[in-house]
Amino acid sequence: MARKRQSPYIWTTWLTRLLVGEHSCEWGAWFKTHHESNSYEKIPGSFDLTAWQVEHTTRVKEIREKLEVEGKTVFLESQNGFVLRGATAALGGRPDLISTFEGNGIIIDIKTGKPSPTHHVQVMVYMYAVPKVLQQYRGIEFDGRVIYSNHEVSIPASAVDEKFISNLSSLIRRLSSTTPPRKISNPVECGFCDITANDCPERAADAILQEGETGDF
């Protein structure tokens, strides 16, 4: 049975699909925010984690070496973990690489799959949180970068503006609330959600789109 956390805790990637509007069911993220992740069953993914880890680690190493050749100081994923505590919840994350050079900073995430706006928002959450929580970066304004296999997307520091912070904060407050949000069961979102029917009996069974016919066109 799912065990309650002592206090609400949110991992950055639980927020990204909701922030970009790709998903609208907040219940799964709310459930994770309030329950210890090792205390409930999850739907196993079809994703080949080992192959991803090998490819990801190789890319991180290549990019770190390139940045160091350019004279930049680079900190790795294992050095970049953070927990930012607010009044309602703690927000955790771990950027792949953080690079600094002459007072400027850049936060980098490396993606091996298809590009998605969720990746950009993930880096924006890091850009917001890292200077607040990691002592060595206090006062540094960070740009962001998402590096794919064949192109990069740069995110200016100005993207983390009042509107973004307000949307992020509102979502975190909703997920931290003791009142659960309404479930929005639908085949597409449930297909991406790892909460089982034990914890979410409303889980939509199959990703079958309903079809009909019209004579209007």
Q: By CB under 6 A, name the binding residues for ligand SF4.
A: 25, 27-28, 183, 185, 189-190, 193, 195, 200, 202-203
Q: Least Å distance between CB 31 and ligand SF4?
A: 7
Q: Least Å distance between CB 202 and ligand SF4?
A: 5
Q: Where are the alpha helices (DSSP H) in the chain?
A: 13-19, 27-34, 49-69, 117-133, 162-176, 187-192
Closer to ligand SF4 at the Cβ: 18 or 157?
Answer: 18
Closer to ligand SF4 at the Cβ: 96 or 189?
Answer: 189
Q: Least Å distance between CB 88 and ligand SF4?
A: 21
Closer to ligand SF4 at the Cβ: 47 or 217?
Answer: 47
Closer to ligand SF4 at the Cβ: 64 or 183?
Answer: 183
Q: Least Å distance between CB 209 and ligand SF4?
A: 16
* Close Cβ partners of 206 (under 8 Å, ≥ 6 residues apart): 187
Closer to ligand SF4 at the Cβ: 27 or 142?
Answer: 27
β-strand 90-93 against 142-147: which pairing, if any?
unpaired
Token pair 């079958």 is found at: 208
Calpha distance 172→14 (Å, rounded): 10
Q: Least Å distance between CB 43 and ligand SF4?
A: 9
Name the nearest CA neighbour of 203 among 216, 214, 192.
192
Closer to ligand SF4 at the Cβ: 24 or 53?
Answer: 24
Q: Least Å distance between CB 44 and ligand SF4?
A: 15
Which amino acid, residue 146? V
Question: Which long-range contacts (C-beta less than 8 Å, at least 24 apart) are formed by 154-159?
Answer: 155/120, 155/123, 155/124, 155/127, 157/127, 159/124, 159/127
Calpha distance 80→98 (Å, rounded): 7
